[in-house]
Amino acid sequence: MSKVRIGIIGCGSIGSVHADSYAKVADAEVVAMCDILSEKLKEKAARHNVAKTYENYHDLLADPEIDAVSVCVPNCMHAPIAIDAFKAGKHVMLEKPMTMNANLGRDILAARDASGKVLQMGMVWRQTPEAQVVRKAVEDGKLGEIYQIRVRMIRRRGIPGLGGWFTTKEKSGGGGLIDLAVHFLDLSCWAAGLWNPTKVSAKTYSKFGSKMRDYHYISMWAGPPNYDGVFDVDDYAAGLIRFGSKATLSFEVAWACNSEEESYVELLGDKGGVKIGGTKTILRTEVDGMIADTELFFKRDQDRFVLQLEKFVAAVQGKGDVPATGEQGVILMEILDAIYKSSEEDSEVTI
């Protein structure tokens, strides 16, 4: 095919990000948008110069002129829409997290396999030039055997849309853990090449958002607070993930806490260590028996969303493989399920 014709389902902030990014992909064209909110749909379609609009995603999926869809809706709708899209013969770009739990993720894989279409997970942090250069260093053996990963993704006061779908477990599946941690857990597994998690010991907390009217913040993305809404999810999580006897991953993730804001993944190997995140990317190693620091250089002006969608479109055209697979998405959901189960049971759980 020439250009891949795209339908975007969900006209929130991430839907607009997809629309703007597809506009920079030479072989893609956004031909339709869908949202249940008619005014938002109208406004976003005009903003992105999209002629076709649908308020029901089934109608969009029935459109024969659409080859592929970007699913940019609340988490609870990821599985139903993705499965219906495959049944309709569409390729699927599925935003993170894959879905609400691992079982639903397996249902998505079954639908993909039955359709023969492409599924790409929206794990966009892999596409950053920094992550790519670190992955290359790992593949080249510069870190040696990776035995420990440290993840810290902290917002001081960063709860999105307090009282909206992000903070309502029935719609989101969880809080800061499923929203933020999924990015850096994926980045960690991918960069280190570790996809065999075995055990989890973790705890989640709800210390700030649950006291909705007492929650103080500077700004709030995803809409203003709705104090008549719900906050029944986590705003902080910490724990340890084991990868058999080979490696461990310690993590600390917060939507809100009394701490300095930080965001990084650190890989520790027996030949070198490196941190993804920060002003410089330094490989801490040894050269000729001497302690040495080597800076890894990369282009900083590349857009990770554009790079991600370029690869999705190429996969749809049969020109390459997706960079983030559905199988990896299920593994991440298994990790998240285990973290929540470990917290609930106050014990280590087996994946």
| Domains annotated on the chain, with CATH | 4-125+308-324 (3.40.50.720), 133-304+332-350 (3.30.360.10)
pLDDT (0 to 100) of residue 300: 80
Q: What is the 3-state composition of the chain as percent helix, strand, coil, each rounded to the nearest 5?
A: 35, 25, 40
What tokens appear for 100 in the block?
């609400």
Encode burial over 223-258: b for 16+ CB neighbours within 10 A, e otherwise.
Answer: eebeeeebbebbbbbbbebbbeeebbbebbbbbbbe
pLDDT (0 to 100) of residue 1: 57
Q: Which residues on adjacent β-strands are paired with residue 58? A: none
Q: What is the Cα–Cα distance from 223 to 256, expressed in whole angstroms?
A: 17
Give the pTM: 0.96
Q: Which positions ≥6 away from 234 have C-beta within 8 Å?
A: 174, 175, 176, 177, 204, 205, 206, 255
SS3 201: strand
Cis before 80 (ω within 30): no
Look at the block and give the residue holding tokens 């065999």: 196
Q: Residue 198's closest CA among 242, 149, 147, 249?
A: 242
Q: What is the pLDDT along the chain (351 residues), one digit of tens a residue?
A: 589 999 999 999 999 999 999 999 999 999 999 999 999 999 999 999 999 999 999 999 999 999 999 999 999 999 999 999 999 999 999 999 999 999 999 999 999 999 999 999 999 999 999 999 999 999 999 999 999 999 999 999 999 999 999 999 999 999 999 999 999 999 999 999 999 999 999 999 999 999 999 999 988 999 999 999 999 999 999 999 999 999 999 999 999 999 999 999 999 999 999 999 988 999 999 999 999 999 999 888 889 999 999 999 999 999 999 999 999 999 999 999 999 999 999 999 999
